[in-house]
Every structure is written in C-alpha cells, then in structure tokens.
Structure 1
Amino acid sequence: MRTRLAALLVPVLLAVAGCTGGGGGETAPTTREGAAQSRPSPFEDCARLTTAPTGTAAGTAAEGPTLPELTLTCFTGGAPVALRDVKGPVVINLWASWCAPCRTELPAFQRLSERAEGRLTVLGVNTRDTRGGAQSIGEDFGIRFPSLVDQGEALQRALGRNAIPLTVLVDGGGRIRHVDASGALDDARLAELVREHLGVAVPA
C-alpha cells in the first residue's frame, strides 16, 4: 500500500517543483519590467537632439570643457546618441526614479522644456535605474522630454560627480557653462541658471 501511495505522489511532487524552478522557458511579462516594456514610452524620441534649437543663445563662448566622448542609448530605442553630437544650448538633467530630489525637480524641467521650446533643449539622462521605475515616473509626472539611459553612471564619473540630481548647462558651441549639484531645482532657480549661463530668458 505504501509503495503504491509513493508511486502516486511522485508525479505530483515533480509537477509542483516544475512550477517554481527555472525550467529555461520564457516567462510571461507579469513583472513591472515586462509591463513597462509593453507600454509606449512617455518620453520623446532622441532624433531631434542632433539638430540645434531654432533660437540663438547669447554669451556663447569658444572656451570651456566639452561633454565627454560618451555614446548612450535613447530610452525610446533607435540609434545610440553621442553626447558631443547633441546640439546646444541644452540643459541636461541626470536623474533616477529612486532619487527623491530628482522626483521633486523633474516637473520643473518639464515646464522648462515647454517654456523654452525652440530656444534650448532639455535632455534627461536616466542613471542606475530600472526601466520600469523610470517609465512609471515619466507617466506619473507627465515627463515628455527625451531621456538617455546611463546604467553605468559613465557621465557622472566623467564629470567627477558622485551624486544626483545633477544638472549640466551646455551652450550653443557645445561647451559646459555650469554644473549644478545643489539639490532639487525649482522653476525660479532653473530660469536663473538658464539666463545666467546660457543667455536664454525663460519665465519662471
């Protein structure tokens, strides 16, 4: 009797083990990451980054450091983007979904991109983050400006910085005019930085 009962239990136990083991087959996209990949990206594509804004910025200088020679992927896919090919003036915001000050200031960067459209570009660089987390923030906060992905923090390291949020202001000549690491920026402070370092007047 015991032998017969054991024989009946073996297939049941094997079936249960197969449900929890890594059988090598693909799983359904039920995780947050899988769900994010199946939704449209909230961010703009990166195609326009290599085209200069139609307006002109005052105070463009020929001297100063340039962006590092880095090529990053666009959140929406497509061809990778070389940072030195991005046409200024541009305000680059390094951010992550797990960074509380980043979440605080992201809406101000979205408003800046709308108020200064045609005169400068706002570009996000999502760093050390998950796709699901970044996409959710974009959707929840209505962030539409293009964003690159920098999982290895290459831009931070090239700039010699180890914390985010980080904002980099680059003039029309491709020169870095200012790097701000003071914390979450609001509309007034962003307008002040853009006016002072890029010569672009934007209402706060």
Structure 2
Amino acid sequence: MRAFPPVLAAVLLLAGCTSTESPAEQVSSPFVACAAAAGAASPPAAGLPDISVDCFAGGDAVSLRGLHGPAVINIWATFCGPCREELPLIQRLADATAGKLTVLGLNTGDTRSAAASFGTDHGVSMPTLFDPDRKAITALGVVNLPSTIFVDARGQVYTHRDTMDAAELTELVRQHAGLSVTL
C-alpha cells in the first residue's frame, strides 16, 4: 500500500506538465483578423447556412449567413494540390480589391500548423476561417476542393466547385460579385 502515494504523486506531477494553451495560442497566424467580414450595408447572404466559423487569427467567429456581399469565400486545404496552386491567386484578388470586396479563405480539414505554415510559405495573409472538423463545408454542401462561394451585393450566392485560373476568377467576380478586377 505504501507504493500508491509515490505513483499518485508521479501522476499528479505529470498532469501539472500538461499544456493549458489552446491550439490557437500554440501556432501563430499568418492570416489577418476576420473583423472586416461583418457589418456591410448590403443584405446578408441568406443562401448560406446559419453556422459560425472561427477566425484563424482568433477573435469573434464569423456567421456565414450574416456575411454581406460583395464577398468571396475560397475553401481550401493544404492536402489539396489544386487548392495550393489557386490560393495565391485568391490572395492576389484580396490585395487587388481591398475595401471593395470581402475575400475570405476557409481552411478545412487541416491542422493549425499545416495551414499556418502554408500561409507563411506562400505569402497568404487574407482573413481565413478555420474549419478543422469540416462542419462548415458539410453545412455548405461542399464536396470538391477547392470550391469558391461568391456573394453579390443583394446577398445572392453562387458556388463554383472547381479550381480557377486568373481569367476565370476575374470573370466570376464580375458576374457574381459585380466588380471588375484585373489579376
């Protein structure tokens, strides 16, 4: 019976060594805050599901249904080759339309470290939502990656379910977000 207290002490000592940091605190974010995703004067995107998704950089979660257009949400993952090729193009769109178009990434099915590493290595810094358990893409009905959701100023939603080059992205932004942009 005397062996029990040392075993118990060892278990308690090891338990004290467990990190209390959340995953969000352990990996720094290359992505900017998602604050710009809410609060526009246009109608909300009623065609999107009523789900909130955490911002990769922390802070308040973003309600997809509450998102106001014009907006673009690019759904990506680091394990998706076409996503890895397309995401820098989406970052160019975010840079070219700053203040005119809300551009969000939605990283799904990844770890924080994989997404952060990719963002850092490829210069991707746009606001990004984090969906590690794929609840958001399930609610969105997205099967293919990459997929891109366009929301116009009236709150109408169009989902493109394939990769895009610069010309196709430019045309889809014109058609479904009402903006002319050169990429």
TM-score, normalised to structure 1's length? Answer: 0.74
Pairing partner for 2:17 from 18, 26, 47? 26
Pairing partner for 1:186 from 153, 162, 165? 165
- Structure 2 gaps, min length 5: 1-9
**1:87-140 deviation line (CA, Å, top 9, x unaligned):** 211100111111111100010000001111122111011111100000001101
Contact 2:170 2:182 in 1 (8 A): yes
Contact 2:46 2:65 in 1 (8 A): no
Following TM superposition, by how much is the alpha carbon of 1:160 offset from its aligned partner in structure 2, in angstroms? 2.4
C-alpha separation between the residues in 1 aligned to 2:122 and 2:156? 30
The list of structure 1 runs, each at least 4 consecutive aligned residues, that deviate by more than 4 angstroms after superposition, is: 36-39
C-alpha separation between the residues in 2 aligned to 1:200 and 1:103? 25
Q: Name 1:200's counterpart in structure 2.
A: 179
Q: Name 1:4's counterpart in structure 2.
A: none
Q: Name 1:10's counterpart in structure 2.
A: none
Range 152-161 or range 72-81, more displaced: 152-161
Q: Name 2:7's counterpart in structure 1.
A: none
| Number of equivalenced pairs | 170
Q: Name 1:157's counterpart in structure 2.
A: 138
Kindly name which structure, 1 or 2, has the bigger radius of gyration based on alpha carbons: 1
C-alpha separation between the residues in 2 aligned to 1:106 and 1:192? 17
**1:41-92 deviation line (CA, Å, top 9, x unaligned):** 1101011111339xx9xxxxx8x96110001111011122211222211100
Pairing partner for 1:105 from 67, 81, 86? 86
Following TM superposition, by how much is the alpha carbon of 1:198 offset from its aligned partner in structure 2, in angstroms? 1.7
SS at match of 1:45: coil
SS at match of 2:54: strand
Does 1:66 find its partner at 2:47?
A: yes
Does 1:80 find its partner at 2:61?
A: yes
Does 1:139 find its partner at 2:130?
A: no
SS at match of 2:113: helix
- Structure 1 gaps, min length 5: 1-17, 57-61
C-alpha separation between the residues in 1 aligned to 2:62 and 2:68? 11
Following TM superposition, by how much is the alpha carbon of 1:40 offset from its aligned partner in structure 2, in angstroms? 3.4
C-alpha separation between the residues in 1 aligned to 2:138 and 2:63? 16
SS at match of 1:85: coil
Following TM superposition, by how much is the alpha carbon of 1:154 offset from its aligned partner in structure 2, in angstroms? 2.4
C-alpha separation between the residues in 1 aligned to 2:17 and 2:92? 41
Where do residues 46-61 of structure 1 align in structure 2 (5 Å cutoff)?
46-52=34-40
C-alpha separation between the residues in 1 aligned to 2:49 and 2:36? 20
Does 1:126 find its partner at 2:100?
A: no
Contact 1:84 1:174 in 2 (8 A): no
Does 1:92 find its partner at 2:69?
A: no
What amino acid does structure 2 have at the position aligned with 1:52? A
Q: Name 2:30's counterpart in structure 1.
A: 42
